Amino acid sequence: MLIVMSVIALSAVIGCNTKKESANGADGDIIQVDSIAQQADEGISDSMWVELKRSGLENQKALDGAIEAFFEEVFNERYYEDGDGFYAKFCTENLKKKLKEAYEYDGEEGYATWKFRSEAQDGPSDEYKLTKFTPEGNGWYKYEFIDMGIPGSHRIKFIPHVNPRNQTEFYIDDIE
């Protein structure tokens, strides 16, 4: 739980598909991010592993555990329903575009937040929780859940980033 709170509290996540973009971090620092889209396509490079190790994530298992803890809190607390703030901090432009295109209400702008859960309006209970999180490789994870008593599953892609303060941040890049 401490990792999750630290990651969320310290994350100054910026979604970008440009070669280089900067943004203000959690405490006002300027963060330079080299092509997140390129990293998403190529997987974690050797130089990124050096950065991840400096931030305390020694191997793939530790990285997977940190991503799982991060997403468990995002899912169980339904942060994805918090509007633009969540998407600005934790999602790449790729995911934001996909969720905006899937938003089905004419004349309104928004994100298809239901893509994170079962898409049901009502269910047989109030039960809502992440039940399983499985690494699939290349940043992809399968997660299983219960949404209003209805079981479901999706695939989700994460991209790790280490900021200048050696803190690991996670971007959500895609969901299926």
pLDDT in tens, 111-153: 988 899 988 888 899 899 999 999 999 999 999 999 999 999 9
Higher-confidence residue of 5 and 167: namely: 167
Higher-confidence residue of 76 and 19: namely: 76
Average pLDDT, the chain: 76
Instruction: Look up the pTM and report it.
Output: 0.73
- Are 7 and 166 in contact by the 8 Å Cβ rule? The answer is no
Tell me how crowded residue 40 is: count the other CB atoms within 10 A of its CB.
Answer: 19
Exposure string of 94-131, with b = 16+ CB inside 10 Å and e = fewer, is bbbebbeeeeeeeeeeebbbbbbbbeeeeeeeeebebe
Lookup: tokens for 122: 């009502």
pLDDT in tens, 22-67: 333 443 433 333 344 444 445 667 777 777 777 777 788 889 999 9
